[in-house]
Amino acid sequence: MPIFDYFKSLGRRGAVPILGYPGLVTENLTAEQCLRNPKLHAQVVRSNLERYQPDVALPLLDLTVEADHHFA
């Protein structure tokens, strides 16, 4: 299902919180551990899904990568 149709089917505004880094605290992990280990990264995302039940799951977002690429 296209994402637009998914959000329309909710019948309300969708919630897409950026929970990656706050989720590290509850899992007692560091950003470096998660960014170097896909299984730990998935663990944090899965934990956030179960705990907060957002409409969309997001990975840890690292905006420094985008900033570095933009100014390079």
Does 42 fall in a domain?
A: yes
- Is 40 within the bounds of a domain? yes
Note if the pTM is more than 0.85.
no
Domain around 61: 16-71
pLDDT reported for residue 35: 86
With respect to residue 7, please indicate whether it lies within any of the assigned structural domains: no
**Considering its fold, how many domains does the chain have in total?**
1
In a domain, 63, yes or no: yes
pLDDT value at 66 more than 80: no
**pLDDT tens per residue, range 9-26:** 999 999 999 888 888 999
What are φ and ψ of residue 2, in 5° steps? -60, 145
DSSP-derived secondary structure for 35-54:
HH-HHHHHHHHHHHHHHH--
Tokens representing residue 24 in the block: 């590290």
Look at residue 42 in the predicted model and tell me its pLDDT: 95
Q: Is there a domain that residue 49 lies in?
A: yes
Tell me the HSE value of 71 on the side-chain side, using a 13 A CA sphere: 5
Distance (Å, rounded) from C-alpha 60 to C-alpha 52? 15
Residue 52 lies in a domain: yes
Residue 20 lies in a domain: yes
